[in-house]
Amino acid sequence: MKRKIIFWISGTIVALAGVILSRLLAPQLSGVFNKITLVCGYLLALAGIIVLAYACRPANLKPD
């Protein structure tokens, strides 16, 4: 149960960090930095969603 909560919380935090990068930080930057931050934000949010999905896997299951 504790393991699952860690996945739920960390996944949400990673995804929200992605949102912050792409929606808050990227607009403040310009040129290449803007695009890099935007793409990193999207990827981080996607990674967060994948981490969230891992919360539902039993602990004894082999890694996906």
Partner 1 sequence: MSGADFLNLFQGIATMVSGDPLITAGRIMLIIAGITLVFLGAKGTLEPLIMIPMGMGMASVNAAVLYLSATTTGTIFIDPMVSDPAKLFDALQINFLQPIYTFTFSNGLIACLLFLGIGVITDIGYIMMAPFKGMLIAIFAELGTILTFPLAVWIGLTYKEAAAISVVGGADGPMVLFTSLILAKDLFVPITIVAYLYLSLTYGGYPYLIRLMVPKRLRGIKMDLKNIPKISRMEKITFSVITSTILCLLFPVAAPLFMSFFLGVIIKESGVKRFLEFLEGPVLYGATFFLGLLLGVLCEASTILNPKVMNLLILGIFALLLSGIGGILGGYVLYFATKGKFNPVIGIAGVSCIPTTAKVAQKEIQKVNHRAIILPYAMGASVSGVITTAIIAGIFVTILR
Which residues, numbered 1-20, are part of the site for partner 1 (CB under 8 A)?
Answer: 8, 11-12, 15-16, 18-19
31 near partner 1, judged by CB under 8 A: no
Q: Give dist(CA 18, CA 61) in Å, integer.
A: 28
Helix, strand or coil, per DSSP, at residue 18:
helix
Nearest distance from residue 20's CB to partner 1, in Å? 9
User: What single DSSP character describes residue 45?
Assistant: H
Helix pair angle (2-19, 31-54), 10° resolution? 160
- Binding residues for partner 1, rule: CB under 8 A, are 8, 11-12, 15-16, 18-19, 22-23, 38, 41-42, 45-46, 48-50, 52-58, 61-62, 64
